[in-house]
Amino acid sequence: MYILNSGFWTLSSSIHSEIEVVAVALQPENLDNNIEKLEEKRNNTATSIPHGCEIDSNNNVTKTLSERQLEYLLSNLLKYGVLIASTVVFLGGVLYLIHHGTEPVKYQVFRGEPSQFRSPAGVINAVFSGSRRGIIQMGLLLLIATPIMRVIISLLAFLWRREFIYVAVTSLVLASLTYSLVGAYY
C-alpha cells in the first residue's frame, strides 16, 4: 500500500530488504609531483608578463613606471578639469546673479537658447564680449572637454606604446565624442 510521508510517496511493505555496504579504499596520489607541476606552471606564467611589469613579493603584478605616470596624469587631468570647469561655472553664475538676480522671471513664454550659445565658437565669442551667460556656457564646455582630453592623451599613450588594438578602440571613442560635440552644428 502507498502512503504519503512528508510530500513523498513511499511503498510500505512488510518485507525488508537487506542492505549491503561496500567500502572502497582509494590510493593517494603522489602529492610532491602535483606541487612541482604547480610551481612550474606559476614560473612559466610569471615570465610571460608583457611590457616589463614587475612581480612583488606576494606574486602580484605591479605596473611599470610609465603606466603609473600615465594613470597619475589622467587622474589629475580629470580631477583638475572638473574643478576648473566648476569654478568657471560658479564664477559665471555669481556674476549673472549679481547683474540679473532681481529681475522677475517670465515663464509664460518659452525662450530658447540664443544662437550665440549654440556652438563652441559662439560661446568663446560671448565670453570675450563679456557675457555672463557666456562664462557659464564656457564652464560647461570645459566640463565636456575634460573627458575628451583624457581620450586624446590615452590615444597618444597607446600610439607611443604601440598597442594598436587600443589605438583603434580609442580612435573610435574619440570619433564618436567629436561627432557628438560638433556634428550637430555642421
pLDDT at 79 over 50: yes
Share above pLDDT 90 across residues of the chain, in percent, rounded to a whole number: 28
Model pTM score: 0.60
Short-list 134, 165, 171, 137, CA closest to 151: 171
- Identify how many contiguous H helices and E strands the chain contains and give both numbers: 5, 4
- Cβ atoms of 80 and 97 within 8 Å: the answer is no
pLDDT tens for each residue of 41-54: 665 554 445 555 55
pLDDT at 61 over 90: no
pLDDT at 13 over 70: no
Q: Please report, as a single letter, which amino acid is at residue 99.
A: H
